[in-house]
Amino acid sequence: MSLSAHQIRYLRRLGHQLKPVVRVGQQGVRESILQALDEALDDHELIKVKIVAERSERQQMLARLIEHSHAELVQQIGQMGVLFRRNPKKPQILLPQS
């Protein structure tokens, strides 16, 4: 699912007020983090992820999280990333038409 620019702006606005639900620390992306990410995306659809690492490592970790979860990157600023994945069984966020 690819998002239009209008939908990304809408999701960024919603994600601004969120607190990080998933935190990736010095130990990197482990299986427990990937499971927590999947559960959080199923429950909320739009989540904020905090990655505490060097810049180059953050990019790699975020790419791995996105690849594993099949989520869309809405925004990344510093250590924070906002991810979106539609829950096909119980959609919660109504996206505007593009």
Residue 98 is predicted with a pLDDT of 66
Angle between helices 55-69 and 31-44 (to 10 degrees): 60
Average pLDDT of the residues in 37-65 = 95
Domain ranges for the chain: 5-84
Evaluate if residue 24 carries a pLDDT over 80. Answer: yes
**Contact assessment for residue 81 and residue 15, using Cβ atoms and an 8 Å cutoff:** no
Distance CA 70, CA 82 (A): 13
Distance CA 44, CA 47 (A): 7
**Contact assessment for residue 51 and residue 81, using Cβ atoms and an 8 Å cutoff:** yes
Compute the 3-state secondary structure of the chain and give helix, strand, coil in percent, each to the nearest 5: 40, 20, 35
pLDDT band at 45 (very low <50, low <70, confident <90, very high): very high
Q: Which fold has domain 5-84?
A: Translation Initiation Factor IF3 (3.30.110)
